[in-house]
Amino acid sequence: MSDLKFSESGRKKYEWLLTRYPEKQAVLLPALRIAEEEFGELGLPEMKYVANLLGISPSRVFGVVTFYTHFRRAGTGKFHIQVCSTLSCALRGSQDVVDHIAGRLGIECGETTEDGLFTLTKVECLGSCDTAPMFQLNDDYHESLTIEDVDRIIDDCRNGSGKNGASGKNGGSA
Amino acid sequence: MSFEKFFTKYLHEPDCHTLDFYKKNYQGYQGARKALHEWEPDALIDEVKASNLRGRGGAGFPTGVKWGFVPKKTDKPKYLAINADESEPGTFKDRVIMEKNPHQLLEGIIINSWAVGIHDAYIYIRGEYVFATRRLERAIEEAYQDGILGEKTLGKDFRLDVTVHRGAGAYICGEETGMLTSLEGERGLPKLKPPFPAVEGLWHCPTVVQNVETVANLPLILEIGSAAYKQIGPEASPGPKLYCVSGHVERPGTIEAPMGVNLLTLINEHCGGVWKGRKLKAVIPGGSSAHVLHARECDVAMDIESLAAAGTMLGSAGVIVMDDQTCMVNALLNIMRFYHHESCGQCTPCREGTGWLEKIVHRIAYGHGQLEDLALIDSVCDRMVGKTICVLADAAAFPAWSFIEKFRDEFVHCIEHGGSPEVKKRHPKRVGGGLRV
Amino acid sequence: MSDPQASDPQKVVHWLLDGKPVENPAGMTIYEAARSHDVEIPNFCYHPGLTIAGNCRICMVETNRSKKPVISCSERISEGLEVQTQSEMAVTSRNSVMEFQLINHPLDCPVCDKAGECVLQDHSFSHGPDRSRFVEDKNIRHTKELGPTIDIWGNRCIVCTRCVRFCDEISGSSELCVVERGDRSVVDIFPGVPIDNPLAGNVVDICPVGALISNDFKFEARIWNMKKTDSLCGGCARGCNVEVQSLDGFVKRLVPRENPQVNQWWICDEGRYDYRYLLANDRVTECSLDGTTVDDRTAHETLASWLGESGLGKAGGTLGILVDPYLTCEEAFLVGEIAAKLPGTILGGWRSADGLAQSFPGHFTISGEKSPNRLGVEAVLGREVFGSEGAALRAALAGGEVATLLVFAGFPHPDLDDSWTSAVASAPRRAVFALRSGPTTEGAALVLPGSSPFEKEGTWVNEDGFLQRVRSYIAPGATEWGHDLQRLQAVMRGAGLRSKSLSPAAIFRELSESKTPFAGLSHTALPPHGAPLPGFSRVAVGSEGNAG
């Protein structure tokens, strides 16, 4: 077991969550989100940490994590580009966006660039069909994309100004 | 009677999501205050029944009737689970409410909780909606600070706690019992019914599951009364409605209109018509699991009954428009891939059937199809429908059936001419060659 | 919505099963109720010992209450319900599920260990289509080790989740999970946390297909070639019901037999894999006299002559008999007869030290007592030979009072207390029925091969006072090492204590006629699940099955 541990604020958030549900296991998904945020990804040690925290078997956590597609799994690049490719986006050219990004980054869908910066994934409907084509870059939606937008966003990420995709059109704080 | 927008009136105001704005411009929380201080819960349930409010999540179940199923005499706590796992392809209306008008949802939650006697509500929001989650959490914080939520909801001796619960990427968690299982911290597998959630839901306790938009209608019902509410749109399924229009239109977006707006009006007047001056070929009117409508079937009112009569459904009101250059085989392949990807894998017919359907349609699109495959798809769908715990299998079968039924000539053309033109353009080397066995 | 009377088992529900009016207590599922009328509905995910998952869908039937087919494993019967198990809807539903189950299932029955007892094979034959319409590539899933004793062949997995539920509900160890979703989903462990709970082997038994495979049995035998013998596990006092499966006289594996009052559907791994000692190098396979191999006849005559001269006032002096808790009731009866006919005989018993009892969430218990028939031997002999009388024999040995000691050492794993071994060694003349050689046989004047628990014919009484049949997987005496009960009778005949050799059933008849607790019982009349022994039973007759 590694020396993983939630930070003080992560711990506080976790403990607050425990007060919001009658059963401890309900906190599993939220706790995995805290782990993802605190540790950067959900690999096996992180899953085991959360399992111990909740007092459930690691296999249960493993089954849960692999069921969902939106957790940040181990090995994901710093910038995770998830291009929506379901029907509405496909009708408005999402495949062109995917092909362009793949070409620029020199990777296929599902792969990560060698420098560990970008991971490109095709995902199913992100609920942003009116602003197709679009992708989610880490937390943020980038919508109504043109090829120029895509290039700019990738450049921003490379230059460091795209920290956590903050150039998102509706990004920023609530 | 002219239609006054209820959800989207102030959509473009930068502060529309704040409590101050909501109070000032919407008479925010007056409906909930009225409910708590002037309505007995049972009478309130009757009022909502009288309003004919029907669920906006897809099934269109009468909301008041659903509340009536919750046992009155029970020692168990009751829960409210708001389904904000909006994930039906073509649907993005709940996101608008949560991002632009989160307090309307919270007010609806208060009214719903008071009527049914609920003290803990959860908003299960899809994990991808990070921005909407932040907005909701901020709104809840404001509500607690303002005494709207908490031990004394709006000054009444009635505790109500609301918690936002993030999903993590699974379409099936939009199915009500899949969502409950996920909320309990498990793989989001739909539960066997009976028991129904109203009797045994979260943690085996009575649970009301409501879609975001449904609950957000409640303040309006309290404000104008059920009689006036029923005047908006058709009486059997009335109310203001958010339509999500996407695909090949000039101005896609969330359109608020009374229930029963004509589909062509929606496309041509609200959304600027089919894009690039092209002609309409087909429309999926209620999210990708609805039967597709041929262009000639699109002069139809967008309400539950009218669409059912047209052989499709209002579903989640996700309207996906396809122009005359769309390859229907390729479009169906996209939908089949979606359901294959999203089947939870619990029930055999869905787990195996969704993958099989994708493989067959893929084969046709890539030029390896045979005419017999169309009958095979029909038969596979027939063997999936109605044989599973939830309706994901049906949701995959409906588009497969309707695409082939209504655009059969395109499928036949694809089979006889070496694949989908779109696929041939994109992957010239991967197409053709007859059936691989 | 919910009818409070719906689950009241006092209430009788009248319903129609395939057009025939039938009745059952309220609360039963369609599957259970149909079964009670000999209508077998196929299933994969259903297991009577586990919660209902309802995922395989093969048990769908048509009812008058739903337009869609319903699953009979979870749907309950109600007044006026009409169920069709052979209607077109029901038949097509089953046929559909079978077609779906098989599209991604490999056609590797010829190399699959499950073939022959595979539920998928059986249902495919009975309910499935006779050809596949699937021309696509099949999905590939992992094949790997899940634990020290269990492999998974993922391509065969139908994700019924029986194994996952077993680990959650019965063993409580939760090592297994389903990973991924849709048709990628498959059973797995958390990497680095193998399935190694004490009941792990059961997941292989309940796997309806060949996905979970026992390392121990892998490629060992084809199911249909094996001989199957209903017997008991001798690993502890629980008396779990097992089926001993053997090929050409070699035991290949043990699998549990259902017994609601003893072991439900399960056995522990310790018992399951404990049969290798049958072929241990130190197994005693021939008689020996003063260290020299002798034929059976010589050995029997020698022992008979020793018995003949033993007894109060006789030249041979006092006879001591040390029994083990592996003796069947029938064998113990013969021992009791020897003691009764040779006045002055001192009886005692010895047994392995108690281990730790283990209880599991699914009400399954591994007994701390490692003696399978202590209670039975004591019931037959009418005294606590393993308690105070055992101590008395040891004292007599220490005091030099015993001239000849007859020892039963049928221990599969001789791990006996040193004080006993030295007491036994102190006897001036010693004859031993031994399963394995060791300190007990060392220096013994006469050694006779003992039968293992799987080679015995007779009855045992478990820790709850439940009398059950133990049977030999091989014809008694067919082994080169013979059979305890036959040897004992041969010796008794030689000593003039019995006139002829009888079958175990006949000896039991004598036992039931002379010993009160056994009165009225017989081998043939003993129910398949055994019977409580009056005065010894902790289980009330007809009570709810609960091994815990």
Report residue B262 as tokens. Answer: 């004509």
Helices assigned H by DSSP within B167-255: 176-183, 212-216, 218-229
Compare CB distances from A59 to C180, C181, C190 and report the shortest one's residue.
C190
Assign B433 a pLDDT band (cuts: 50, 70, 90): low
- Measure Cα distances from C45 to B182, B354, C48, C53, C468 in Å: 22, 20, 10, 7, 31
Contact of A9 with chain C, judged by CB distance below 8 Å, is answered with no
Given a contact as 3+ CB pairs under 8 Å, which chains touch C? A, B
Residue found under tokens 């010992």: C49
Nearest CA in chain C to B375: C133
Please, which chains are in contact with A (at least 3 CB pairs closer than 8 A)? Answer: B, C
Which of B340, B354, B383 minimises the CB distance to C96? B383
- Pairwise CB contact (< 8 Å): B131 & A170: yes
* pLDDT tens column, B219-252: 999 999 999 999 999 999 999 999 999 999 999 9
Distance CA B326, CA B338 (A): 18
Residue C4: per-residue pLDDT: 45
| Res B437 pLDDT > 60 | no
Q: Work out the minimum CA distance from A155 to partner chain B, whole angstroms.
A: 23
Q: Does A74 touch chain C (CB under 8 A)?
A: no
Question: Which 3-state string (H, E, C) describes C276-329?
Answer: HHHHCCCECCCCEECCEECCHHHHHHHHHHHHHHCCCCCCCCCEEEEECCCCCH
What is the per-residue pLDDT for C540? 46
Paired with C434 in beta bridges are C409, C449
Greatest alpha-carbon span in chain B: 73
The closest CB to that of C52, out of B192, B383, B435, belongs to B192
Which residue type sits at C255? V
Give pLDDT tens digits for B41-83: 999 999 999 999 999 999 999 999 999 999 999 999 999 999 9
Q: Which residue of chain C has the CA closest to A1?
A: C192
User: What's the pLDDT band for B431 if we cut at 50, 70, 90?
Assistant: confident
For position C261, what pLDDT does the model report?
92
Contact B319, B283 (CB under 8 A): yes
Decide if A139 and B130 are in contact by the 8 Å CB cutoff: yes
pLDDT value for B428: 79
Q: What is the pLDDT of residue C548?
A: 33
Mutation site for B-interface testing, chosen from A124, A135, A139, A170 by largest number of B Cβ within 10 Å = A124
| Chain C positions in Cβ-Cβ contact with residue B354 (cut-off 8 Å) | 182-183
Q: How confident is the model at residue C536 (pLDDT cuts 50, 70, 90)?
A: confident
State the first-to-last Cα distance of chain B, in angstroms, to the nearest integer.
Answer: 63
In this predicted model, what pLDDT tens digit does every residue of A74-129 receive, in sequence order? 999 999 999 999 999 999 999 999 999 999 999 999 999 999 999 999 999 999 99
Interface residue B62 vs chain C (CB under 8 A): no
C349-408 pLDDT per residue, tens: 999 988 999 999 999 999 999 999 999 999 999 999 998 888 999 999 999 999 999 999
Q: Distance from CA of residue B21 to its chain's centroid? A: 27
Give, as one character, the DSSP assignment of residue B193: S
Distance from CA of B31 to the nearest CA of A (A): 25
- Does pLDDT of C314 surpass 70? yes
Whether C159 contacts chain B with CB within 8 A: yes
- In angstroms, the CA C268 to CA C256 distance is 9
Q: Which two tokens stand for residue C542?
A: 């007809």
Q: For a pLDDT cut of 70, what percent of chain B falls above it?
A: 98
Provide the shortest C-alpha distance from residue B295 to chain A (in Å).
17
Interface A-B: count of C-beta contacts within 8 A:
152
Instruction: Verify cis geometry, omega within 30 degrees of 0, for the bond prior to A133.
Output: yes
Q: How high is the pLDDT of residue C535?
A: 86
DSSP letter for each residue of B299-348:
--B-SHHHHHHTTS--TT-EEEEEETT--HHHHHHHHHHHHHHH--S-SH
What are the φ and ψ backbone dihedral angles of C452, each rounded to 5 degrees? Answer: -80, 165
Torsion of CA B178, B182, B188, B191, to 10 degrees: -40
What does the pLDDT average to over B355-384? 97
Distance from CA of B319 to the nearest CA of A (A): 9
Whether residue A174 has pLDDT greater than 90: no
Binned at pLDDT 50, 70 and 90, residue C421 comes out as confident
Number of residue pairs across B and C with CB atoms under 8 Å?
Answer: 100
Which tens digit of pLDDT belongs to each residue from A114-172? 999 999 999 999 999 999 999 999 999 999 999 999 999 999 999 986 554 433 444 33
Q: Is residue C483 predicted with pLDDT exceeding 90?
A: no
Residues of B in contact with C99 (CB under 8 A): 383
> Does residue A97 sit at the C interface (CB-CB below 8 Å)?
no
Tokens of B274: 């089919």
Q: Verify whether the Cβ–Cβ distance C174 to A62 is below 8 Å.
A: no
| Nearest CB partner across the interface for B69, out of C1, C69, C136 | C1
Q: Are C434 and C447 in contact (CB under 8 A)?
A: yes
| pLDDT level of residue C268 (50, 70, 90 thresholds) | very high
Residues C113-145 have pLDDT tens digits of 999 999 999 999 999 999 899 999 999 999 999
* Mutate which: A1, A28, A48, A59, vs C, most C CBs within 10 A: A59
Q: Does C52 touch chain B (CB under 8 A)?
A: yes
What are the φ and ψ backbone dihedral angles of B352, each rounded to 5 degrees? -85, -40
- Please give the average per-residue pLDDT across B295-311, as a whole number: 97
* Closest chain A residue to C187, measured at CA: A63
* Count of CB atoms situated within 10 Å of the CB of C533: 23
What average pLDDT does the segment B109-121 reach?
98
- Chains in contact with B, counting 3 or more C-beta pairs less than 8 Å apart as contact: A, C
Phi, psi angles (nearest 5°) of residue C381: -80, -15
**∠B25-B29-B35 over CA atoms, to 5°?**
140
pLDDT at B430 (0 to 100):
73
B382: number of CA atoms within 13 Å, CB side?
A: 9
CB C178 within 8 A of CB C125: no
Going by C-alpha positions, the residue among A158, A67, B275 that lies closest to residue C185 is A67
- Distance (Å, whole) CA B53 – CA B241: 11
CA–CA gap between residue B205 and residue B54 (Å, rounded) = 23
User: Chain B window 89-118: which residues touch A at a Cβ cutoff of 8 Å?
Assistant: 89-92, 95, 99
The CA R_g of chain C, rounded to the nearest whole Å, is: 27
Measure in Å the smallest separation between the Cα of B5 and chain C Cα atoms. Answer: 38
Decide: helix, strand or coil at residue C465.
coil
- pLDDT attached to residue B426: 86
Confidence at residue A167, expressed as pLDDT on a 0 to 100 scale: 39
- Burial of C227 (C-beta count, 10 Å sphere; 0-12/13-18/19+): middle
Q: Mean per-residue pLDDT for C270-278?
A: 94
Using a CB–CB cutoff of 8 Å, tell me whether C43 touches chain B: no
Q: What is the pLDDT of residue C419?
A: 83
Q: Which pair of structure tokens corresponds to residue A128?
A: 């942003």
- Look over chain C and give the mean of its residue pLDDT values, rounded to a whole number: 93
Distance from CA of A56 to the nearest CA of C (A): 9
pLDDT at C7: 60
Segments of B57-117 assigned E as strands: 79-84
Which tens digits make up the pLDDT trace of B172-203? Answer: 999 999 999 999 999 999 999 999 999 999 99
State whether C174 and A60 contact (CB < 8 Å): yes
Which run of H or E residues covers position C93? helix C88-103
pLDDT of residue C5: 45
CA dist B245 to A144, B331, B427, C4, C115, Å? 14, 17, 30, 47, 54
Amino acid present at C223? I
Q: Which residue of A has its CA nearest to B245?
A: A130
Residue of A25, A57, A124 to mutate for C, most C C-beta atoms under 10 A: A57
Check if the beta carbon of residue C457 is closer than 8 Å to that of residue C470.
yes
Average pLDDT over residues B326-341: 98
- Ramachandran class of C384: left when φ > 0, alpha when ψ lies in -120 to 50, beta otherwise: beta
| C107 CB-near residues (< 8 Å, 6+ apart) | none
In the predicted structure, residue C333 carries a pLDDT above the cut 60: yes
Q: In this structure, what DSSP letter does residue C452 have?
A: P
pLDDT per position as a tens digit, A38-67: 999 999 999 999 999 999 999 999 999 999
- Cβ-defined contact of B351 to C185 (cutoff 8 Å): yes
The per-residue pLDDT for range C58-88, each reduced to its tens digit, is 999 999 999 999 999 999 999 999 999 999 9
